Structures are given as C-alpha cells and as structure tokens.
Structure 1
Amino acid sequence: MAAAVDYNLSAGDLDEIYESCKNWGRWGVADQAGTLNLLTDDVRAKGAASVKLGRAISCAHDFPVSPSAETPVPGCHHMITAGDARDSSGIPGYEATQDYVGTNVHGLGITHIDALCHMFVRGEMYNGFLPADVRSNGGALRNSIMAAVDNLVGRCILIDVPRVRGVDYLEPHQTVTVGDLMAAEEAQKVVVEPGDMVIVSTGRDARRVAHDGSLSPFFQGLAGLHPECARWLKDRGVTVLGSDGISDHMPAGPVAGWPFPIHQIGITAVGLHLIDNMHLLDLAEACAEVGRWAFQLSVAPLRVVGGTGCPVNPIALL
C-alpha cells in the first residue's frame, strides 16, 4: 500500500490555512454559491472568446457500471425496455427502448462535481451552515448542487504538471506545489485570472495506461495538491478546481483532523466547487498540439434538488 504523503505541516498550520482561506460572509450570510459568484457574465464572455478552433473534447470517463479497482461500488445501468420489447406498450406504432441509471455520486472513479454541502469541518460547511441543513430525507437545504446548475461555463486553464516537469505522470508520493502552478503558467504562457476555472493534471490517465489498466487509489495511491495550493487558488479567484484525481492525495493525509485538506479547505472555507476524476489525456494532448492551454469549459450538473454533487461530462472547447 502507498504511504501517506508528509506535507511538513502541523495541524496548527492547516488550521491557519483554513481560517485564512475563509470566504464566509464575503457574498452575504445567506450565500450558497461560493466562488461561483466570481463567474460573471463578463467572465463567461471571456471564456467564449478563448474558443479559436471549435474543437470539442470530453473530459469525463465512461460511466462505471462494473466493479473495478477504482470503482469497487459502480453505478447501475439496466434496461427497462429492451429492443425485443420495444413495441410492448400497447400503443400502435410506438416502438421505443428505455433504461435506468443510478449511482453513488462521489468516489474515486466516476467523473463528478462536488457541491458545497459535500464537506464539513468541525461540524460546519461553507458559510457556517450546519449538519441539520443536510437531511436524510430530501438532502441538502443549503449549499446543494442547485447553486451550480446554470453558471458553469467560462474560461478554463489546464495546468499540465507532468508536461512542465518533463515526465509522463506523477507518482502518488509526488505533490503538486504552488511552485508547480506558477511554473506551468510561465511555461504555458498563461495567467490564471479571477473567475477562471482551473484543471490540474497529474497524469493519472497516462499512469493507468503505463500499468495496463486501472490502479487502486486505495493501494497504489494518487498524487495530489499541497494544502498551500488552496490559498493560491483563493487568492487568484479561481471558481472551480478540476483534477484527474481528487485534488487530494490518496491515501489520506497524515495530519490528524485533515485527511483531505484540499477538499476540506477548498470546499468548506473557500466555497470552491471541485470536479474529481476527470479524463484529461485527450485534452492535454490537444492543448500541447495547438500550444494553448486556455479554453472554454462547460459543465452542466443535473438539477437534483438537495444533491451533494452530480456526475458530469465536462466539455472543453478549444
């Protein structure tokens, strides 16, 4: 099993980062959108202006329906009406098929977005809302995925860390630092600006290919971001953080109380929506081919009232 990564930070250090990153009250005491408040009409227009070729690239994996090392509990897809029963409705001339899809939204294999009700720190979620606001019957009363259903279109920057480091992929023990983020900006000749979405590639897809199939995040681990990156993302005004992993390391971090600091600080303190388990191999290759790492990204969660997140198929438009 992979060893937990040592960030050389104490619990007190992480407490300080958490408090310094809080956006609570910045957009009002009732706010449930977090950094999506920075994704304005002008920012979305800037995203549209970044489209030069019209090339569309999916950044999602196939919906998992079979158990694997990455998705031990997969989603469910079964037929309600298959082709052999297409005309069984009793309505003359009506021939159709139907199916059912269901899943645990979160996990280490399915491409999904986290709502701000997904994470708590010491019994509080973003903007100080409490556990009672997420009910077993009906879901989240506050900070649900509904805050993100009509605004996730804008300019996005791919931070291709393996490319900048000159490797195919990061090993699980390797950490993406603030220095990596800034080095990528310089190498890719792009600057992350307020309102931008950011995707960080660790090369997980290439690592999977190199090992002839899926790798268990529980045993082989995942590379992730250093907790100080949360402060950088907040200071830059990033609206959404995506990754080919979960942005955090696997196994969970070694500091007591802070197992997944990017999730805990990013979602709960900053109010940052995270997209986990993105497929980035095709996007990284396309960006390198055209020499441009800024593009329009469109993400459309389902309108699940009370949802803690949603499977998504992010589309990059170069």
Structure 2
Amino acid sequence: MTKAEFDALYRRLASRTAWAGGDRGALDALTPDRVLAATREVRAGRTITLAAPVETSPGPDNPEPARHRMRRQPEEDFSSGLHFAKDSFAMNVHGDADSHIDALCHVIYDGTLHGGVATDSVGPDGATALSVEVARDGIVGRGVLLDIPRLRGVPWLEPGDDVTADDLGFAETAQQVRVTEGDLLFVRVGHRRRRAELGAWHAAEARAGLHPSALEFLAERRVAVLGGDGNNDTAPSSAEGIDFPVHVLAVHAMGLHLLDYLQFEGLAPVCEAEGRWSFLCVIAPLRLPDATGSPVNPIAVL
C-alpha cells in the first residue's frame, strides 16, 4: 500500500466512524441496550481468560520483562505471630509479550491524538486526555472471535502474513457468525500457539496481523473494540513509510481501543466444540488515570 493509498484510507475510515464526541471513541457504541443484549450470549456459565500469563523472564520478544519481587526483609521471621506476604510489580505495558490494552492517547500521528486532541496533553507525568481511565467502568459487550488459521486449515499464520477483509468475511461464513455494530472483535492469527510450540522470536520485526485495508470491514460493521493474539499489525508493515498502520487507523482514525497479545488457545476449542463463536466479554483495565494503556485480562463468558 502506497502512502497516498494509506492517506486516502485514513480519511475514508475517519469519516465513516465518527462518534458523537467526548473521549470514549468507539466505546460509545456500547449502549445499555447492547450490553443487555450481550448478556444473552451466556448459556453455559463458563468463563475463559483471553490473557496470557505476565512474563518476568527476558526473551527475544520481551527484552524488558515485567519485574516481580517479594518485599520480605531478610531479617523477618514468619515462625510466629501475624505477617503479610507482600510483593511489587513493574511493567512495560506496550511490549511484545504481555496482554495489554491501548488507550486512545497511545497513538500520535501527524501532530495530533485521536479526534485532533493536542499532543501536549501527553507529557512526562502522563496523559490528561484520552487515557485508559475512560474505560474505568469496564468494557462489556458481545465478543466475536474470528479464527483465521482455522479458515485456512493451518495451526497459525506465519510472521509477515496479512489478514484481509475477505479473510474476515470468509471466516464469518465458515463460523456461521456475523460481526455487528458495537461488537468486540477478536481476530486469531495463532501467534500464541506458534510461540508456545516453536519458541519466542523477535516479533517486533516479523509477525502476522491485519492488512490495513481490513479496517474497512471494521468500519462497515462499526465495531467497538479490536483485539488480537499478536500486535494486530503485520511486520514488516504493509504500508509504505508507516510501521504500525493498523494502530494508526484503528486508534487514531477510528477511535478503537486495541488489545494486543491476547491468547485465544483456551477459547477457540470451546467455541469449536459448542459451534458458536460469540460470547459475553468483560474487559476491566486497571484504573491508571494518566496512562496510555494497561495490562488486561479479558474474560469470555459463554
């Protein structure tokens, strides 16, 4: 995709997905009626995590792993009386290993944030606009999983492979499900399964993801959220001169919160066995008022 083609796509998507205003972007599609309707997806009362375990060991895709340490003092004696086990965590939220959500202030493109918000709203002390705090009451809606490796008859897509709008449409047909307005769309490329079976690799340089033109599908269906088991963006990029075109289009142009590096290896077999690929989904980011994102543990309820 040339830069001119990308620019035209950006303008087209921004015009087709404009929301009423405010700082929630596409979350405005999650009306009370749609949330209530999503609860009717629950039939078995089964809950499944869509997050991978937080990793504390370095790897080729995780040079800055989360740090976890216990806060016990060497001289503490636990043999009698009351004591508390304590620990602390630190994390690079936007890495290439841990499951996380991108807030609308995460992507700066051509001098602005989503909706034309000035970049000086993001500074050394955090973000004063569009932070992950806009999702403080949770993101609850109808989740839909489209399994692209299943569609293609492979265990995973190879790094560098693109998911197209046609792939998404064909997956709908194959899975007998339809993505509708306000849905939380999850697209499986098999990143987690490949990583588990072949080992970690430098995912910043090579990974499967969506082709930028696939965002036309999301705009047409007016989804509220996009999540993937990779970064959502293909690497190397399919757009000339832009390393993360899907992030630019989804977050900056369309106002979509993105969930990166989820895992669907627990959910996909259940959907397959039950013959349904939609479910209630509950996403609860941490309340980090000035943050550009958060670690996250989405729960599918079937």
TM-score, length of structure 2 as denominator length: 0.95
- TM-fit CA distance, 1:146: 0.7
Distance of 1:86 and 1:66 partners within structure 2 = 29
1:165 equivalent in structure 2: 152
1:250 equivalent in structure 2: 235
Match of 1:240 among 225, 237, 250: 225
Distance of 1:252 and 1:84 partners within structure 2 = 53
Deviates more, 1:108-117 or 1:40-49: 40-49
Tell whether 2:290 aligns with 1:306. Answer: yes
2:38 equivalent in structure 1: 47
| Counterpart contact for 1:126–1:271, Cα < 8 Å | yes
Match of 1:114 among 94, 97, 102: 102
2:28 equivalent in structure 1: 37
Distance 1:194 1:81, change over 3 A: same
2:137 equivalent in structure 1: 150
Tell whether 2:4 aligns with 1:16. Answer: no
| Counterpart contact for 2:13–2:216, Cα < 8 Å | yes
SS in structure 1 of the partner of residue 14 of structure 2:
coil
| Counterpart contact for 1:87–1:96, Cα < 8 Å | no
Tell whether 2:51 aligns with 1:57. Answer: no
- TM-fit CA distance, 1:69: 1.7
Which residue type is aligned with residue 42 of structure 2? V
- TM-fit CA distance, 1:84: 7.9
2:93 equivalent in structure 1: 105
Which residue type is aligned with residue 226 of structure 1? H
Using the aligned pairs only, state the percent identity.
Answer: 38
Distance 1:151 1:93, change over 3 A: same
Structural mapping, 1:92-241, within 5 Å: 93-137=81-125, 139-211=126-198, 213-219=199-205, 221-241=206-226
- TM-fit CA distance, 1:262: 0.6
- TM-fit CA distance, 1:67: 0.4
Count matched residues.
Answer: 301
Match of 1:26 among 15, 19, 23: 19
Distance of 1:260 and 1:251 partners within structure 2 = 9
- TM-fit CA distance, 1:198: 0.4
Which residue type is aligned with residue 59 of structure 2? S
- TM-fit CA distance, 1:207: 1.5
| Counterpart contact for 2:6–2:239, Cα < 8 Å | no
Deviation per CA, 1:196-249: give whole Å up to 9, x if none. 0000000112222331x2222135x11010111222212211111000001101
| Counterpart contact for 1:39–1:151, Cα < 8 Å | no
List alignment gaps of at least 5 residues for structure 1.
Answer: 1-8
| Counterpart contact for 1:51–1:296, Cα < 8 Å | yes
